[in-house]
Amino acid sequence: MIQRHDFFVLRQPAFPISTLTRFYDQLATHSFDDLLRQHYQNPLAQEAIFTASPTLYERFQRWLAGEVLPEQTKLLLTLHKYLIRMCSRATPYGLFAGCTMGRFGDQSVYRAGTSATLRTHSRIDMDCLLAIGRWLTSLPHLRAQLKLYPNTSLYSAGASLRYVEQQWETDHRNYFISAVEADQYLTTVLTAARTGSTIGELATLLTDLQTDADEAADFIEQLIDSQLLVFETEPTVTGRPYLDWLTERIASLADTGPEVTALQTLMNGLQQGDRRQTYSHIRQWLLDRQISPPTSDLMQVDSFFDNPTLQLGERAIQHLQRDLEKLLLLNQPAVCPDLDEFKRRFYNRYEDEGIPLTLALDQEFGIGYGSGSTLGVGYAP
């Protein structure tokens, strides 16, 4: 039996389906090019294109101004696909579609949101946040004050320690498992870093073990470079907005006035109503600090339709529940041979014992996962 909460989330495209049907109805008397041009006179449609693909937007604007472009047919087909997307697909993405929240009541009060009720939230792309974090930790006066913590994926495997390391490529990141031998010095550093320690504090611990001060500092830097130690500024996907927290944390350190001002300027630029200006603001902010934009998608946009009167009545809910229960017959479990084999091998070896997932996935000390388990350290499921 399907149970419901006291609210529901409705997803809807930015434009009604009638916009698309009207477009096709008019093809008998108007050209494909003219109808597309007519639709994209709408400011919301233009912003939707910019939000989805800033690189496409420049060519799109030249076409909209009347310029004949090379490969224009390909551009028109792309714009046609985007038209279909923003009129018929309800999956939220940028300004193509959004969502709203409704309640249940005695009677249905249903009216879809419109562009007039559209509310958006702009945020900086995660790859850009990572680049900003790396820029901050490269500044000597900040690097010396920020705390270090062990890599959160770290686990013991026999006499060694293993962890997931990431490697940056031109346009993406690769992840693989790295291994290091545990010794007195490494164990001392990782134990102290569990509660957060600066580079200087960790280096001092090593000098207490009769280590040269320069060698101790170099050792800590090597641990940072190999990602065994990570700075506290690593972006998070839950909790407070990352930039708010980051600005507050940097402000708590000594002699960080210029960096705090820079972060505040960046955040203020996100409040602009015109996303094209916001995009330019973020890009210029990065370039002013010699930060190479890691992606063309510098910002992400979430769309919401304010619709406080949206309500579904009991009769509509009962009808939906009956139909959904019929559809459940089609909801057959997916077959995943790798997962089934992992479950079988896990139970045969560990039965009901609680095992860290990282250890279970280890191909040498655990049971591995999938056909890649024979590849040795460096394969990350």
Residue 163 CA to residue 157 CA, distance in Å, equals: 10
CA atoms within 13 Å, Cβ hemisphere of 108: 13
52/301 Cα distance (integer angstroms): 9
How confident is residue 379, by pLDDT bands cut at 50, 70 and 90? very low
- Residue 226 is predicted with a pLDDT of 94
Query: What number of other Cβ atoms are within 10 A of residue 82's Cβ?
Result: 21
Containing 100, the helix (H) or strand (E) segment is strand 97-105
- Exposure b/e, 119-132, CB count within 10 A at least 16 = b: eeebebbebbbbbb
Whether residue 16 contacts residue 87, with contact meaning beta carbons closer than 8 Å, is answered with: yes
Dist CA 159 CA 161 (whole Å): 7
pTM of the model: 0.80
DSSP category for residue 335: P
> Which residue from 149, 167, 294, 296 is spatially nearest to 236, judged by alpha carbons?
149
How many CB atoms are closer than 10 A to CB 34? 11
First to last CA, the chain: 36
Mean pLDDT of 324-335: 83
The pLDDT tens digits of the residues spanning 229-265 come to 999 999 888 888 899 999 999 999 999 999 999 999 9
The alpha carbon of 110 is separated from its chain's Cα centroid by a whole number of angstroms, namely: 32
- List, for residues 353-377, the tens digit of each pLDDT value: 998 888 888 888 888 888 755 445 5
* Nearest in space to 98 (alpha carbons), one of 83, 117, 81: 117
Number of residues in the chain: 381
Q: What distances in angstroms separate CA 118 from CA 65, 111, 125, 296, one per listed residue?
A: 27, 14, 21, 25
Q: Token pair of 15, please? A: 């434009």
Q: What is the distance of C-alpha 221 from the center of its chain?
A: 28
pLDDT digits (tens, 9 = 90+) for 71-111: 899 999 999 999 999 999 999 999 999 999 999 988 999 88
pLDDT digits (tens, 9 = 90+) for 209-222: 888 999 999 999 99
Mean pLDDT of 54-67: 92
Give the pLDDT score at 1. Answer: 63
201's tokens = 């504090």
In a 13 Å sphere around the CA of 196, the CA atoms on its Cβ side amount to 7
Percent of the chain with pLDDT over 90: 61
Give me 183's structure tokens: 């010794």
State the Rg of the chain over Cα: 27
